[in-house]
């Protein structure tokens, strides 16, 4: 399994991640629960989006961004967030050295071995809580145009990204956490049908970059799909059901 973030400059992906809005709302809802008693949040695979860090700073919480990709961390540094360049499977931090560890849409890019070690690392460095958020594309359905884009994405990203990981997230985490003194809470965030083309079009542009790298024979199909989605996005009445965000909050009993 080749990690798409290890190749290319990913300008499209940088712009897409910076515009994430619903995933930020989900992180806020999960973090809100224990915010008063906690002082630090480590965001593993933070990407370039600075909203979470800004919101935590307003709440007097220290936000630390960790990622393998230097250009993403540069964006975090521009907002004065402390950064650590590292692999999620090897965090250069002591046991229980942050209050909360947070990881959103990262496990889906990792091989099963790396995923297992990353989950253990998340649990090791956090004193109180670990938050995991992943996509489950099995709910993603809409018009013929949307469905053919979805199927094209599944085909191109096949060996690189697990778009259905959210479905098995609880199982994955239980498998990797040998400690029995943990509470594991699962919650799905589902949205009803709506016009989410403002999320889909940036994803389609990132898919084009991925196709150029891994499946150049699919480039034309992605371009055609972008054209069809752009046209459909102009019709406000057309709606689709987006992927579910599957979340796990692990609490440690110290
Ligand atoms: C889909 S993006 C999500 C970014 C961010 N968590 C968000 O939700 O906006 C995946 C992120 O994980 C990072 N990443 C991928 N593999 C990683 C690894 N092995 N260790 C650390 N970060 C990794 C990528 O560089 C990228 O920033």
Q: How far apart are CA 106 and CA 165, in angstroms?
A: 10
For the chain, give every domain's residue range: 8-138+162-193+243-252
SS3 content of the chain, % helix, strand, coil (to 5): 50, 20, 30
Q: Is 35 exposed, middle or buried (0-12, 13-18, 19+ CB in 10 A)?
A: middle
CA proximity to 134, closest of 18, 225, 30, 54: 30
Taking CA atoms, 170 is separated from 46, 85, 110, 137, in Å, by 21, 27, 16, 16
pLDDT in tens, 135-181: 999 999 999 999 999 999 999 998 899 999 999 999 999 998 876 78
pLDDT in tens, 28-87: 999 986 677 779 999 999 999 999 999 999 999 999 999 999 999 999 999 999 999 999
For 129, phi and psi rounded to 5 degrees?
-135, 145
Q: How far apart are CA 229 and CA 209, in angstroms?
A: 17
Asked if 83 contacts 66 with a C-beta cutoff of 8 angstroms, the reply is yes
Q: Tokens standing for 244? A: 């579910």
The whole-model pTM stands at: 0.95
DSSP secondary-structure letter at 79?
T
| 162: helix, strand or coil | coil
Q: Tokens standing for 226? A: 């972008």
Q: Which of 87, 106, 166 to mutate to test the pocket of ligand 1 (most atoms within 8 A of CB)?
A: 106
Sign of torsion over alpha carbons 81, 87, 90, 96: positive
Q: Which residues line ligand 1 (CB under 6 A)?
A: 3, 5, 17, 20, 23, 45-47, 49, 67-69, 72, 87-88, 104-106, 109-110
Check if CATH label 1.10.530.10 holds for domain 8-138+162-193+243-252.
Answer: no
User: Residue 154 Cα, ligand 1 centroid: separation in angstroms?
Assistant: 19
Give the pLDDT band of residue 10 (cuts 50, 70, 90).
confident
Asked whether the predicted pLDDT for residue 2 surpasses 80, the reply is no
Looking at beta carbons, which pairs linking 201-204 to residues 24 or more positions away fall under 8 Å? 201/226, 201/229, 201/230, 201/233, 202/12, 202/15, 202/16, 202/19, 203/16, 203/153, 204/149, 204/229
Q: Which of 7, 64, 109, 137 to mutate to test the pocket of ligand 1 (most atoms within 8 A of CB)?
A: 109
pLDDT in tens, 207-253: 998 899 889 999 999 999 999 999 999 988 899 999 999 999 999 98
CA 211 to chain CA centroid, Å, is 20
């Amino acid at each position: 399994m080749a990690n798409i973030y290890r190749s290319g400059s990913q300008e499209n992906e940088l712009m897409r991640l910076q515009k994430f809005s619903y995933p930020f709302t989900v992180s806020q809802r999960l973090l809100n629960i224990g915010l008063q008693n906690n002082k630090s949040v480590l965001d593993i695979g933070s990407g370039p989006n600075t909203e979470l860090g800004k919101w935590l700073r307003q709440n007097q919480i220290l936000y630390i961004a960790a990622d393998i990709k230097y250009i993403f961390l540069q964006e975090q540094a521009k907002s004065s967030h402390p950064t650590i360049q590292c692999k999620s499977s090897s965090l250069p931090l002591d046991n229980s050295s942050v209050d909360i560890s947070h990881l959103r849409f990262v496990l889906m890019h990792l091989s099963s071995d790396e995923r297992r070690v990353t989950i253990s690392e998340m649990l090791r460095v956090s004193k109180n809580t670990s938050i995991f958020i992943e996509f489950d594309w099995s709910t993603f359905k809409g018009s013929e145009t949307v469905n053919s884009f979805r199927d094209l994405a599944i085909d191109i990203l096949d060996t690189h990204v697990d778009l259905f990981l959210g479905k098995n997230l609880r199982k994955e985490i239980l498998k990797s956490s040998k400690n029995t003194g943990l509470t594991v809470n699962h919650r799905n965030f589902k949205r009803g049908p709506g016009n989410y083309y403002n999320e889909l079009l940036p994803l389609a542009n990132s898919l084009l970059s991925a196709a150029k790298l891994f499946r150049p024979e699919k480039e034309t199909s992605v371009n055609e799909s972008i054209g069809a989605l752009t046209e459909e996005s102009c019709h406000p009445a057309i709606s689709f059901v987006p992927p579910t965000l599957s979340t796990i909050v692990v609490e440690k009993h110290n």
